[in-house]
């Protein structure tokens, strides 16, 4: 479109120039002839002098005008094509940046506004790359902090309690074998629980590989393993086809891992329903369990991992809603708009 508009502008400028030259030539001719024939009125001058002269020179004028128009169109097309190619260079670089590849830079050595704009885009891309790297580093730090908290709150406490039970059994072994046996059984239960907790944490830490099926395929594989480990049935449903970039799919996948981990630890549920809807506006999804539920108003923002989940959704420009009450399970609903997801290319840590 730019090419043809520029070509048309060249033609219009040429035609306007020809029109102006013809008009002022016509006016100058009238003034010249009127000075040589002061007794003639203007209309008589035009009819007797100017029109006969024009009838003889119009063919020559047309012979000059047609080549001028063709030359103007040709140079207009060349200029427009040159500008179009330079804009295509900008567009190609931006498309690479949209896919998260910032190694491509705008290369334009011409000293004009387009070249300056390209250099500004390169600076913006470099700053954006640094920002995304900083966000990835921050996300990795948050993941490590989250992992340390999980290990401290669950596995460490369970192992410490098991150690106390083993110590108690050792002290009671000669005095009361039944009590010692009971302590050992409790220690075994605690160690088994710690083992299950470690399995869940290790499952969360596995690298996310977005295969041909994308987010839905990755969730299917993950939930199959998760429900075997936690003895909780998962019903996964999806509608539409994902249009999300791989980095964002990984971020949402991590969100599901966090949500299902909270279900396994706190909900006492026997079934979890997961629904995803992809459309032109983005992604909407929900996670609902039939567990014990809770009162959201009585919880701190850190409770049940809600802070981490809210941060993940907020980081990609989405919104999250939580509904629950004691005895009736919990439901998490979230939306991620496509206008944001196309800009988000950062990989989940």
CATH of domain 208-349: 3.30.565.10
DSSP assignment letter at 67: H
What residues of the chain score a pLDDT lower than 50?
Answer: 300-302, 304, 339-349
Residues in the chain: 349
| 97: CB partners within 8 A, 6+ apart | 104, 125, 128
Q: What's the pLDDT score for residue 84?
A: 79
Beta bridge partners of 5: none
| 231: CB partners within 8 A, 6+ apart | none
| 308: CB partners within 8 A, 6+ apart | 142, 146, 258
Residue whose pair of structure tokens reads 């670089």 in the numeric block: 93
Does this model's pTM top 0.85? My answer is no
Residue whose pair of structure tokens reads 């279900």 in the numeric block: 263
What span, in angstroms and rounded, lies between the C-alpha atoms of 105 and 91? 11
Beta bridge partners of 324: 330
Q: What's the pLDDT score for residue 42?
A: 65
Domain ranges of the chain: 2-98, 208-349
Q: What's the pLDDT score for residue 302?
A: 46
Report whether 261 contacts 198 (CB < 8 A).
no
């Amino acid at each position: 479109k730019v090419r043809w508009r520029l070509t048309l502008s060249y033609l219009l400028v040429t035609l306007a120039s020809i029109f102006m030259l013809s008009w002022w030539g016509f006016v100058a001719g009238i003034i010249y002839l009127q000075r040589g024939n002061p007794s003639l009125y203007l209309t008589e001058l035009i009819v007797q002098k100017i029109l006969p002269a024009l009838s003889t020179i119009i063919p020559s004028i047309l012979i000059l005008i047609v080549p001028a128009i063709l030359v103007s169109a040709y140079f207009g097309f060349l200029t427009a094509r040159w500008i179009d190619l330079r804009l295509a260079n900008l567009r190609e670089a931006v498309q690479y940046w949209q896919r998260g590849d910032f190694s491509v830079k705008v290369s334009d050595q011409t000293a004009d506004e387009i070249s300056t704009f390209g250099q500004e885009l390169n600076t913006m891309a470099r700053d954006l790359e640094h920002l995304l790297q900083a966000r990835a580093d921050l996300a990795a730090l948050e993941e490590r902090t989250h992992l340390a908290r999980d290990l401290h709150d669950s596995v460490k406490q369970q192992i410490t309690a098991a150690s106390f039970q083993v110590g108690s059994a050792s002290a009671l072994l000669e005095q009361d074998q039944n009590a010692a046996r009971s302590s050992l059984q409790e220690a075994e239960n605690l160690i088994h629980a710690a083992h299950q907790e470690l399995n869940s944490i290790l499952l969360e830490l596995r690298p996310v590989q977005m295969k041909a099926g994308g987010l839905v395929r990755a969730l299917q594989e993950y939930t199959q393993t998760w429900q075997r480990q936690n003895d909780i049935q998962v019903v996964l449903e999806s509608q539409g086809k994902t249009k999300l970039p791989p980095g964002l799919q990984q971020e949402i996948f991590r969100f599901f891992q966090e949500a299902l981990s909270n279900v396994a630890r706190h909900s006492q549920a026997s079934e979890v329903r997961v629904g995803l809807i992809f459309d032109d506006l983005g992604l909407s999804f929900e996670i609902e369990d039939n567990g014990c539920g809770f009162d959201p108003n009585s919880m701190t923002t850190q409770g049940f991992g809600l802070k981490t989940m809210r941060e993940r959704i907020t980081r990609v420009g989405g919104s999250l809603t939580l509904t629950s009450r004691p005895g009736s399970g919990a439901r998490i609903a979230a939306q991620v708009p496509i206008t944001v997801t196309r800009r988000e290319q950062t990989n989940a840590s």
